[in-house]
Each structure stands twice: as C-alpha cells, then as structure tokens.
Amino acid sequence: MIDILADRPWARTLLTGFSIVALCLVTGEAVASYPLTYILALVGLSAVAAVAWWNRGVLTGILVLLLLEGVPFINTGGGSSRSAGANAPNDAVFVALVVFLALCAFDSTRNRAQDRIAILASTWASCYFAWWLYKVVAASPGIPVLSAVSYGREFLGFSLFLPLALLGLRRRPHLVGFAITLAVGVAIFSVGQIIEQVAHADLTWLIHIIKTNEFEGLTRIYSSMNEPLTAAFPMALAATLLGPKAWRRRAMLLAVLTGLANALTFTRATYVSELLALFLISLIWARGSGWRPRRIRYTFVFGVVAIVFAIVLAGGSSATSGNSSSPVQAVIARAELGLSNTQSQTGSVGVRIHEADLALEVLGDHWITGLGFLNPAYHYVPSLREGSIRNNDLGSLSIVVTMGLIGLILAYMPPVAGLIYLLKRRYNFVQYGGAMYLGAALIASITLGAIATLPGLLVLGSMLVLCLNWTALDESTD
C-alpha cells in the first residue's frame, strides 16, 4: 500500500506538506521551550549532517576552508600568529575533519588503483608519524609533551589528513564536490582581496586578514587563503585549456580572478615558482601530437607575448608618470625590487639570509635529526625571531631545524611522488594542473610554507587527494 501511494504525485505532495507542517510545529515548540543557543546548535548540526549525507566532499571542503579562514563571517584565528602553536578553534575544527574522514574511510568504495595509492600513503604516514612522535617524546629536551605536540601539530595533522582523505574521498561526485567547494571559497577570497586592495574598501567580514602593509600605494594582504591561490590558478588554467566544455568559461573566470589575486599578493617567490612550474610542465605536456599538446603550445606562445607586452607597456607608463600607480605597474615594480634585492642581498632577501644564518648557527651539527619541537614558551632563543626555532619565512629550513634531514626527506616524499605519478599519466586537465601546482609548491617550499605550515600542508594534502584519486579513477576506466 505504501509503495503504491509513493508512486502517486499527489501522495508525495501531501507527504511533503505534512512534513513541513510537522517541522514547523516542532520548531515552534522548541523555540518556546529551550534557549535560542540550543536551537541554533541543533539547526547547525542538522545542516552539517544534511551536507554530509548529500556530498561528503562538500563538507570536507567547508571544513578545510574553515581551517584556512576562508569562510566569510567565521574567523577561527588560525593564522593570527606567525609562530607555531595551538589554537583551540582551529584544533577543534581539525579534529572534526579527521573524525569525519575516518568515518568516510569506513564507508568507501573499493578501487584497485586507489587502494594502491592509499596503501603507499598510509605506509608513508606511519613512518612520518613515528618520526614525529619520537621527536615529540624523546628528542625535545626540556619541553613538556603537550607543548611539543602543540608546537609541531601541523606535521601530525598532515600525517592524519592525507591517508584518511585518500580513503574517504574516492567517488567522482565527492571529488567534484570537494573541488567546487574549494574553488568557490578561493573565488570569494580573490574578489574580496582585489576589491580591498584596489578600491581600499573594508571587507574584513568577507576575507580574514592576518596583517597588511603598503606597497606602491596598494595594500599588501597576508592571509592563510594566499596558499590555495597558488593551487587554484594552475588548476583553473588547466581546466580552461583542457577541461570539459561546460566547465571552461567558469574555469576561465576563476583563472583570471586567482591570477590577479596571486599577482597582488606581491610574493616574489610565488611569481618565480608559478611561472617556472608553468613553463616546465607545459613544455612536457606540449610534446607530441593531438589537440591537447597543440592547444598548450598555442597558449604558451600567446602567454609569453602577453607577458612581454604587459611589461613593456607598464614600463613605458612608469617612465612617463614617474611612479607606479596601477596594479600591473606595482607587480612589475615588486618583481624588479626582488631582482635588485637578490643581486645585492638587501631588503627582505637580506633579512631572510641573515635569519637563515642564525637558524643554522643554532642548529649546529644536529643536521640529521634536528633539535626537536622546542616550544619558545620553554626554550626561548634570543637570537631568533620571536625566540622560535621555527620561522615560516624560511620554508623547508624550519623542518630541518626541528626534525632534521630525516624529517625533510619524509616531508618531500608525497609531493615528489605525486608529481611523478601525474607526469606519467597525462589524461586530462587534472594531471596538467596538479603537476603545475606540485612543481610550484616544490620550488616555493625553499622559502615559503608549502610543506612547513598548516595552510600549506592543508592545500598540499587537498591537491594530492583530488589529483591522485581522480587520476586513479581515470586509469580504472581506460
């Protein structure tokens, strides 16, 4: 009888109307009987459960954006400090992310290619976690265990996030939902950043800023969301060139937004790493015949001409006006300043070289194993910034100082292995964009936090999960 009624349109309409009325009555009774805080908490949990049931990739993307401070109105404060350490809201969100992915891992589909990747990732994570645990428990002299854990929690988080996400996000709809959620978050941040910098509008409710300074009349914004910009731009560019036709216009818009936002971060290491990776990976993909290599070759030539034209045009305008007044001129001025600083070892380049020398002096002969997670609250080093042996501006050197060359080798294994895997399987835009990002991340990791900070590791892990599991599905269908 129930099956017969379920097939009748009027019965479904009646059931839906009855459910809405019942929900309204229950909600009204709850509002009248319980504090509003409890009601909002229940609604929030219900919404989270609904999203998780609908698409686990979407909820995973939302949690990652929360950790990156990429959700408007909600600021977890995870990037408020330059030094490493615990942050209660961020830690709570991360625990929720790990628990959710663990539950998803128990209810995942089986795929032979994805299983191989997950086994390798789990083996690596076990080794990485074991070395991290040794450094926390036995090789951080004078530091309480909990303080050492909080000081190096980013590396623990990465060793948990990567294998669990590879196990929990396997189906194509989940990967698409994950990618779209992150793309929407990055697009919102890009729009907010551009408006904030060019129009000098106050959009702190839309984008969460760690700090700002001025360069050539424009506001330079430091934010945890700067990290996913470096991943979104190559992926959007790859989707524009090689993606499905239905995606190309949206991907082109995202590529323009993230490309401009990337440029306006005024991070010279990002300029070098993104352009160099784009050049090298495109050279590899442009080899051979077919429409994909041909399109990449044409786009590569067009891009080089456009860059040269922009430099000449901006240079001529600067010579005429005597100052840098446009975003393009400011970006070129920033790049020129970087070349000058590198040649003379002055400015921020000189500062980083000096800080690296001080860090190496403190490291001494502990190259192989590192100094451990010496939380500055218990082991303050006066010669180093904020008394901390970890410095996000020194990139991978922060790993050497804490976990030594052993930790550094383990940290580089996932991005290097992922890059090799993608270069051997050139099926579509996912491998092209993923290879460009991983190449850029490896180059930038020398001075930036792609493998040494929570935002960098979250983006790295997300990109590895998306690209590797997507490619394994492509491999299975061939």
pLDDT in tens, 149-199: 999 999 999 999 999 999 999 999 999 999 999 999 999 999 999 999 888
The per-residue pLDDT for range 259-289, each reduced to its tens digit, is 999 999 999 889 999 999 999 999 999 887 7
Q: For 88-92, 223-227, 313-317, which range has the lowest pLDDT when averaged over its residues?
A: 313-317
- Give the span between the Cα atoms of 445 and 396, in whole angstroms: 6
For residue 440, pLDDT over 90 is answered with yes
Q: Count CB atoms within 10 A of the CB of residue 184.
A: 16
- Give the span between the Cα atoms of 72 and 79, in whole angstroms: 15
- In Å, what is the CA distance from 23 to each residue of 16, 17, 20, 27, 29? 11, 10, 5, 6, 10
Structure confidence at residue 6 (pLDDT): 45
Give me the residues paired with residue 218 across strands: 215
Regarding predicted confidence, which is higher, 474 or 76?
A: 474
Structure confidence at residue 3 (pLDDT): 46
Burial 240-257 (b: 16+ CB within 10 A, else e): bbbbeeeebebbbebbeb
Structure confidence at residue 180 (pLDDT): 96
User: What does DSSP assign to residue 214?
Assistant: E
Query: Which burial class, exposed, middle or buried, applies to 225 when counting CB atoms under 10 A from its CB (0-12, 13-18, 19+)?
Result: buried
**What mean pLDDT do residues 194-210 have?**
88
Alpha carbons within 13 angstroms on the beta-carbon side of residue 450 total: 27
Residue pointed to by tokens 């194993």: 369
What's the pTM? 0.89
The per-residue pLDDT for range 316-353, each reduced to its tens digit, is 555 444 454 577 777 777 877 777 777 677 777 888 88
The token duo for 395 is: 């990139």
Can you give 296-365 as a three-state secondary structure string?
Answer: HHHHHHHHHHHHHHHHHHHHHHHHHHCCCCCHHHHHHHHHHHHHHHHHHCCHHHHHHHHHHHHHHHHHCC
For residue 17, pLDDT over 70 is answered with no
- Give the span between the Cα atoms of 72 and 343, in whole angstroms: 41
**What mean pLDDT do residues 343-370 have?**
87
Structure confidence at residue 4 (pLDDT): 47
Regarding predicted confidence, which is higher, 406 or 44?
A: 406
Percent of the chain scored above 70 by pLDDT?
Answer: 84
Structure confidence at residue 214 (pLDDT): 84
Burial 413-432 (b: 16+ CB within 10 A, else e): ebbebbbebbbebbbbbbbb
Q: What are phi and psi of 267, to 5 degrees?
A: -95, 105
Give the SS3 label for residue 220: strand
Concatenating the DSSP letter of every residue in 108-165 gives ----HHHHHHHHHHHHHHHHHHHHHHHHHHTSSTT--HHHHHHHTHHHHHHHHHHHHH
Residue pair 111/476 in contact (Cβ under 8 Å)? The answer is yes
